Amino acid sequence: MMKIKCHFWELIEDCNCYTVVQPFEMAGLPTPEQLKPTAHDKLTLEAWSQGFMIGALIIMLGITLANMRRGVLLHKLIFIELILAVPNGFFIFFEPPVYGWFLSSTVILLLASWTLHNVIAWMKSKPFLGRRGNLIYIGSVILVQPYWILEVYANFVFFNTPNSRLFVTTRPFEAVFRDPWWIFTIVNLFWNIKFRYELDFATVVRVSPRFGVLLFCMILSLIFIVVDLLSV
């Protein structure tokens, strides 16, 4: 009797097998990339990145609280934005199936945080935009929300149901529906400093070092956006 010996990922020529049969697919199980990482290096990287994110959020929450003023809506919205992003930094502590459920449910809050971030950026940019510019800015933020609803669904079925590949298709477009408003806000701020107020950046940093830190963080965020795009 001929014994068929097929590996998960490659064909063994001596077996005369012409199709790759993957046991996890036959059993209706999630593919390996959908499961919680088990390799030591991957777990360390994921835990480190989540810890870094939570640490950064805690620092920003502290700064926000220290500068919060009574009756200022913008400060409250920034605080809510940061709080919404926190829960997604803990899914690595759970084992499947809780791992997938927790990750997917907290992604909803994270995506809400991203959208709120763009709304806050619009509020900060309003004085520098005309009526048409303001309508285009906030209108486009609203128009992309159907994508985020689809992304919530795609994320959930990817991590919680067997063999769903929708998330693989939608994930590369995240940056397109998330970052243009932030990039525009940064460029708009630098343009107004340079041309509307006719200030050079060295003067701005010398007069207000804290504002210089803000500008540096904005530039750093652009670098992280590029890294995120390259990692997809």
Query: 10 Å Cβ neighbour count for 39?
Result: 8
The whole model's pTM is what?
Answer: 0.80
Do 103 and 89 touch, CB atoms closer than 8 A?
no
DSSP-derived secondary structure for 48-91 = HHHHHHHHHHHHHHHHHHHH--TT-HHHHHHHHHHHHHSGGG-G
Q: Alpha carbon of 122 to those of 2, 106, 119, 185: distances in Å? A: 68, 25, 5, 8
Do 201 and 215 touch, CB atoms closer than 8 A?
yes
- In whole angstroms, what is the distance from residue 101 CA to residue 83 CA? 20
**What string of pLDDT tens digits covers the 232 residues of the chain?**
434 334 333 333 334 443 344 444 444 555 545 578 888 888 888 899 999 999 999 999 999 999 898 889 999 999 999 999 999 999 999 988 899 999 999 999 999 999 999 999 999 999 999 899 999 999 999 999 999 999 999 999 998 887 678 898 999 899 999 999 999 999 999 999 988 888 888 888 898 888 888 889 889 999 988 888 887 6
